Structure 1
Amino acid sequence: MEIFLAQFIGPLVIALVLLTVGFFSGRYLEKKHYANIIARETSPDQVMVFAERLPPPILPAPVTQLVSGSVVISSDYFKRFIAGLRMLIGGRLNTYESLLDRARREAILRMREEAKALGATQIFNVKLETMSIGGRNPNSVSCLEVLAYGTAIIPRP
């Protein structure tokens, strides 16, 4: 009986240590990423983004170009562990909501940066595409890809 307990406790302690490290490091990195996103979103020289399909008529007609921004964000082991437990009982996967929020905001910021580099002032018809990478395969890392794209309006010189 003592040998069984010794064989059981060692891996359990390692698993708990890894979950604890995953929790604290994941939380720290997520807060750091959110702070970066908020700082970039609140900068005064941002390109305006609209979900409307067509821009208002402007004379002379501006130059338009497709712009996009994509990001792939991976979940940490703690979030995967908590989500696995939550899937057993059902309900919302709150641990993945922040992951999706960060990915969407980062993709939109990258799209804005591309449009700004082109000299655009506005982006219309903005769409978001999401995809889970490796979500079903237990041996792979589960990641989330978000692609934001739209039509940049570049004023004529």
Structure 2
Amino acid sequence: MLELIIFIGLLMLGYVTGSALEKRHYKSILQREMALRKLPLIASKIVPEEFTPCKTSIVLGSVVISVDFFKHFVAALRNILGGRVSSYESLIDRGRREALLRMREQARNMGANFVFNIKMETSSISKGQRNAIGSIEVLAYGTAVILEQDKLSVNETRDALNLRPRTI
């Protein structure tokens, strides 16, 4: 009986702690996305002719995120019962957004006007290993473009690319 109480206590502790950390991470992501919203990310491989790139460079952002004990427990139940593992969806969302943010921060630090040819790779860490905590790695990469000085402002860049600022 004591073991069951300890297990339930640890499960509840995992839920409370994991939820608090996830909320804090989402808050950080939202703040950083707002701060970097003026740096467009474009999936296209081709830079429009209106732009005269002065410099290009590869930029990347990588993150490894692990599940908390509660999500691991819920996923184990889902493996037994079958169905969608919705507890992992926020893990993937946070990983992708964090990787894009890290890539964007690197591009901003080098003075880029925008990033073209965005790609993302996701991989599972410790997949298939018994008693391993599930973790994912997300890698986002693209080509940062620095335009020649005084060619186009950020708003003119958005207009030329037919982009509208996205509110999050």
TM-score w.r.t. the length of structure 1 is 0.89
Determine which structure has more spread, i.e. the larger CA radius of gyration: 1
Q: Which of 85, 102, 110 is 1:110 aligned to?
A: 102
Q: Number of matched residues?
A: 149
Q: How does 1:122-141 map to 2 (within 5 A)?
A: 122-141=114-133
Q: Which of 51, 69, 72 is 2:64 aligned to?
A: 72
Percent identity of the aligned residues? 46
Counterpart in the other structure of 1:19 = 11
Do 1:46 and 1:112's aligned partners in 2 also have CA atoms closer than 8 Å? no
Counterparts of 2:113 and 2:51, CA distance in 1: 15
Instruction: State the superposition RMSD in angstroms.
Output: 1.4
Determine whether 1:82 maps to 2:74: yes
Q: Deviations along 1:25-70, whole A, 9 cap, x unmatched?
A: 0000000000000111112664210111112124544311100000
Determine whether 1:98 maps to 2:104: no
Name the SS for the 1:136 alignment partner: coil
Shift of 1:137: 1.2
Shift >2 Å, 4+ stretches: 58-62, 138-141
- The one-letter amino acid paired with 2:118 is V
Counterparts of 2:51 and 2:99, CA distance in 1: 31
- The one-letter amino acid paired with 2:107 is A
Shift of 1:11: 1.2
Counterpart in the other structure of 2:143 = 151
Name the SS for the 1:144 alignment partner: strand
Shift of 1:135: 2.6
